[in-house]
Copies of this chain bind each other. A is one copy, B any other.
C-alpha cells in the first residue's frame, strides 16, 4: 500500500513483497479454464515449476494456501492410524503435527528447543528403533518460519538412508522454496510442500505438492478419505495441462511470470542473494549486541532472521512502534517466542538497498524503544554487503 509518504516495507517472512510485474500479470482477465489458451498456460506452468523444486517428477498445484498442501501431503499418502515422525523445530512444525493428529494419524514428535533444526541423528535413531516398520513417514520443515532455522535436509536424507528404513520423507519448503537451496530429487524427498507467497513472490492462494514416484506408489495404497486434495485426479487432468476443478487462474498467470523472473536471475543467484542478505542481517544483529534465535551456525536461514530481545523488552510493542513510525511490518514471535523475539523477513523479491532500509528501520525502532545497542548494525551490514558487491557482477536492471 504505497502512500504519499512512500511504500510499505513488508518484512514479515511471507507473504513477501509481490513485484509489480507479477501483480500486473495477475491482473489479466480470467480465461476459460477448459479452453485451448488455458491448456497452453497449464502445460507451461506445470513444467516450469519443476526445476524450482529440483525435480523431474510430478508437481501438483492446489487452489489453496500452504496449510492445504500440508493436508494434501498427509491424506494422499497415509492411512488412518499410520505412524509418522515429526521433528519439532518451532511453531509451524507444531501446527503440522497438530494437523496430523486431527486427521487421525499417530504422531511421534522428536522434541526440539526451537533454536536448532531437525536433528539427523534423532531421526535416524527413531527409525532404527522402529523394527516393525510402523513409521510410514518422516516430516521435516526445511526452513522453520517461526525461528529462522534451516534444517539440513540433505544430511537428514543420508541419516535416513543409513537406517535402511522405507518411510516416506516429507519436507515443508513453504518459506525456503525459491529462496534456499533445495533439491527434491537429489535428496530423495518424497513429498515437498510449498506455497506461493514466499520465495515465489506471489500473493497467497496456491500451494504445491512435489511428488516422488515412491510417494505416488504409497498414494495408490493409502486409505485416508480425500476428494479435493486427491493427487490422482490432479495428475490425470494435468497430463493435458488441465485441472480437475476450477484452478486459481490468475495466480497461475502470476506463477508463469514468477518462474520467468527466477529463471532470468538464475536459481544459483537467487540462493546466493538470500544467503548474502541473511549474513548481512546477522552482522547487524551481532553489532547491536543481540542474539539470533538460531544457534547453530550451519542452520542460519537465508529467508528470515529471528532476533531475541533482552529481558524486559516487549517484541510486539517494538514492532508496533516500528509500524507506526516507519511503516514497516515485521514478523511477531509465535507461541513460546511471543513477545520475546521478532522476525525480519528478507526473502522473495528483495535487494541490498531494501535490506539496508529494513535494518535501518529496525535500528531506529530499537533506539526509539530505548534498547541499548552495542554498535551500529547498519554499518556492519553495509560493510558485509559492500564486500559482497565487489565480488559479484552487475544486478539486472534492464527494461522489461
Contacts and interface: CB of A to CB of B under 8 A. Distances in A.
Interface stretch (A146-154, A159-167, A212-220, A357-365): A357-365
Nearest to A250: B203
Nearest to A205: B248
Size class of A's contact patch?
35 or more
Given A327-B397, A399-B31, A248 B65 contact: yes
A312 interface: no
B27 A2 contact: no
Given A66-B246, A197-B246, A364-B389, 4 more contacts: A5-B350, A63-B65, A102-B225, A248-B248
Nearest to A31: B1
Contacts of A376: 376, 379, 382
Contacts of A30: 10, 15-18, 197, 203-204
Point out which of A30, A206, A323 has the most chain B C-beta atoms below 10 A from its C-beta.
Answer: A30
A68 B32 CA distance: 20
A224 B28 CA distance: 39
Contacts of A2: 19-22, 29, 349
Interface stretch (A122-130, A134-142, A181-189, A261-269): A261-269
Interface stretch (A37-45, A82-90, A110-118, A299-307): A37-45
A273 interface: yes
Contacts of A195: 246
- By Cβ-Cβ distance, the 7 closest A-B pairs, closest first, are A6-B351, A2-B19, A357-B357, A356-B360, A324-B394, A353-B357, A37-B399
B246 A4 contact: no
18 contacts: A1-B31, A5-B269, A5-B396, A10-B29, A15-B33, A15-B249, A37-B398, A63-B63, A66-B246, A68-B228, A98-B227, A103-B227, A225-B225, A326-B389, A327-B395, A327-B396, A363-B386, A364-B385
A201 interface: yes
Interface string A35-53: 1111011000000000000
A19 B30 CA distance: 10
A204 B6 CA distance: 18
A354 interface: yes
Interface of A: 1-10, 12, 14-24, 26-38, 40-41, 62-68, 70-71, 80, 98-99, 102-104, 195, 197, 201, 203-206, 224-228, 230, 244-251, 258, 261-262, 264-265, 269-270, 273, 323-329, 332, 349-358, 360-361, 363-364, 367-368, 376, 378-379, 382, 385-386, 389-390, 392-400
B37 A28 contact: no
Contacts of A262: 4
Contacts of A66: 245-246
A364 B349 contact: no
A386 B399 contact: no
A103 to B, nearest CB: 5
Contacts of A41: 399
A338 B71 CA distance: 34
Contacts of A378: 356, 360, 378-379, 382
A64 B247 CA distance: 9
A270 B364 contact: no
B17 A1 contact: no
Nearest to A379: B376
Contact of A389 (B270, B368, B386): B368
Contacts of A353: 6, 9, 326-328, 357-358, 360-361
Contacts of A270: 4-5
Contact of A4 (B26, B99, B261): B261
